[in-house]
Amino acid sequence: MDEKVVEVRFKNNRKIIYRNNLGFKLQKDDRVVVKAEYGYDLGTISMIGDLTQKKSSLDQILRKATREDLNQWIDAKKKERDVLMKSRMLAAENDLDLGINDAEFRGDGKQVTLFYTTDKNEDLDDLIRKITSSFEIKVEMKQILSVPSSMIH
């Protein structure tokens, strides 16, 4: 099987394709460490093989996850609920009309992504500063589309 390209799955079934140029012997469900902006993340191999024609533009797998990587990732995951609840509270205190749906820590525990919905153009700078200072982490906000209830059958 061609192990040059692999699909890596993260929380909420988010998937990204990576190159395996260093020739790691990988199997489906192996945990791997991948490059992320200003750090690294940890994901699970979901597919191996010729998955894309754009192989040259993909990021590369850094290494197979070590026990230390897994422990750091588990510690970060344990904080997600606290960050989610505190972020919702801070958003309400700032009279922001947004729903914070999920929190996802990066594998190195140095950044959290908060997924939110809103129908308004909200200024999130103050909220991000408060979350950053509360947890001493980098915060990224990603808006997700909400599905109107009239479209749900």
123-136 tens-digit pLDDT? 999 999 999 999 99
Write out the two tokens for 58.
Answer: 């993909």
Q: What is the pLDDT of residue 21?
A: 85
CA 37/CA 126 separation, integer angstroms: 23
How do the domains of the chain map onto residue ranges? 5-65, 79-151
CA 57/CA 33 separation, integer angstroms: 18
What sections of 32-137 are H helices per DSSP? Answer: 67-93, 125-135
Residue 48 has pLDDT above 70, yes or no: yes
Residue 53 has pLDDT above 80, yes or no: no
List, as one string, the DSSP characters of 15-57. Answer: EEEEE-TT-----TT-EEEEEETTEEEEEEEEEES---S-GGG
Mean pLDDT, residues 135-144 taken together:
93
Q: What percent of the chain has pLDDT over 70?
A: 88
Q: What SS3 class is residue 90?
A: helix
CATH superfamily placement of domain 79-151: K homology (KH) domain (3.30.300.20)
Residue 147 has pLDDT above 80, yes or no: no
Q: What is the pLDDT of residue 52?
A: 52
Q: How confident is the model at residue 119 (pLDDT cuts 50, 70, 90)?
A: confident
Q: Which of 115, 107, 123, 105 is nearest to 141 (CA)?
A: 115
- Predicted TM-score of the model (pTM): 0.79
Residue 51 has pLDDT above 80, yes or no: no
